[in-house]
Amino acid sequence: MKTPPNQYATPSRREALYGLGAGLGSVAFSSLLQGASPTSRVVHHPAKAKRCIFLMMEGGPSHIDTFDPKPELAKRHLEKFKRSGERESAMSSGNRYFVKSPFDFIKAGESGADISTEWQHLKEMVDDMCFYRGCQVESVNHPTACYHVNTGNRFGGDPAIGSWVNYGLGTENENLPGFVVLPRTAYPQGGAGNWSNGFLPADFQGTPLRPQGSPILDLNPPAGVSRGQQRANLDLLSKLNQKHLDTREGRGDLSARMASYELAYRMQTEVPGILDLDGEKQETLESYGIGDSTTDAFGRKCLLARRLVEKGVRFVQAYAGNWDSHDYIAKAHGSLIRSVDKPIAALLRDLKERGMLDDTLVVWCGEFGRTPDNGMRSGAQSYGRDHNAKAMTMWFAGGGTKAGHTVGATDEIGAEAVECVHHIRDVHCTILHLLGLDDNKLTYYHAGRHKQLSQFGGQVIHDLIA
């Protein structure tokens, strides 16, 4: 998709920084051209999914302890291990040992999917899921790996996948941003660059909703100001701004800022109703784990993700973590699994019961997998796992993916993907493909060339598509 001439105007650095403050104005600015551009664009081919919910498990969940059992590690547990052919690093040097999983595994559902017994609720949904064990990335450094999974570029600065989807498809609701992010209180490593618009116009960046306090600052009008007064003020401001704009032909940034004021006004009506969960049935809240200290935080994100896509938001990304379990993996991963297990199962079930799972793509992954070995840093019972870019498990549900299938495989100890092996760029191409977008056509001219999410092209992983 080549950018139509003058369809989008990019503000200067000063204007962008001025507009992207912390309040509602900044949120509106992130969707400032929605009113001027089509709310829905033509896809490149028939889409299997209309929207995407991306569950990002920051920190690198261990495939070996979640969805990819390795009985061989039980045989070799605490056997001394030495990596060969690799340059030693802080994580690979010293005495190292094979580490078995502290969790048991079962064959769940009619599909017989492998899943650790810590997943008490998700095991009931495996027949709606497609597990993929063949993905590889390039970095074992958290910030660069997060950037890689989220933007296709290890060094940041490029548009996030949600921004590309927003750019390609537009929004289904002109009163809401097309790309919404539900972060943890502490932003992921790399910060807001994980949902940046990069070189795309500013309206395509992700809009984060704060996990504590008011999700969006300045969401409500100031005390003593009615909606009627606010509307009258905006109408007057619009007239003055239009006179100013009439004398400055071609200044798209000015009209964009005017549009941002209107979007902010519309969002004040639309957003509170979506964020308010009081209208949900008590049984729905309980199914997501809302009210339980273990599951409440991520349960709210999953329920909000469902409500957002139901209202037309095109791409929602929800963060959970931190999965960086170098020590005490039984305790650390066990706690993390319990915090997301019930909410994710409820999300999949809720989407399915509402008839939305067929055209909603749900993605679960981290920034890399973990190693079959580790050093004993705090005693023999404290073992965990290090970072592993060569093997990671992710799963998909809905949106035209192969329900009840496991695709790809890692070697006998989970150190490296060996079957249906694909780079993360191919996963990106596949997600776009399911949404009706062709990575080779979804381009934006910047710095002298047409750029794309995959950086320089990739291939669709057809094994994952129904």
For the whole model, what pTM was predicted?
0.85
Q: How many helices (H) and strands (E) does the chain have?
A: 11, 20
Q: What is the pLDDT of residue 291?
A: 95
Q: Which residue from 394, 415, 381, 405 is spatially nearest to 463, judged by alpha carbons?
A: 405
In angstroms, rounded to a whole number, what is the distance separating the alpha carbons of residues 364 and 350? 17
Q: Flag residues of the chain having pLDDT under 70.
A: 1-40, 82-94, 211-221, 227, 250-253, 255-272, 375-381
Q: What is the pLDDT of residue 358?
A: 97
In angstroms, rounded to a whole number, what is the distance separating the alpha carbons of residues 198 and 439? 17
Q: What is the pLDDT of residue 264?
A: 63
Query: Tell me: the pLDDT tens digits for 273-322?
Result: 777 888 899 999 999 999 999 999 999 999 999 999 999 999 999 999 89
> To 10 degrees, the CA torsion angle through 209, 214, 219, 222?
-160
Count of C-beta atoms within a 10 Å radius of residue 355: 9
Residue 363 β-bridge partners: 54, 396
DSSP-assigned letter for residue 203: G
Q: What is the pLDDT of residue 348?
A: 98
In angstroms, rounded to a whole number, what is the distance separating the alpha carbons of residues 175 and 127? 36
In angstroms, rounded to a whole number, what is the distance separating the alpha carbons of residues 352 and 359? 10
* Structure-block tokens of residue 113: 């999917």
The CA–CA distances, whole Å, from 113 to 27, 263, 416 equal: 41, 45, 20
Q: Which residue from 433, 215, 377 is spatially nearest to 452, judged by alpha carbons?
A: 433
Give the N- to C-terminal CA distance of the chain in Å, as an integer. Answer: 26
DSSP strand pairing (392-397 vs 129-136): antiparallel
Residue 370 phi, psi (nearest 5): -135, 165
Query: Tell me: the pLDDT tens digits for 38-76?
Result: 355 778 999 999 999 999 999 999 999 999 999 999 999
Q: What is the pLDDT of residue 272?
A: 65
In angstroms, rounded to a whole number, what is the distance separating the alpha carbons of residues 260 and 267? 10
Q: What is the pLDDT of residue 30?
A: 45
Q: What is the pLDDT of residue 377?
A: 58
Q: What is the CATH number of domain 36-210+282-464?
A: 3.40.720
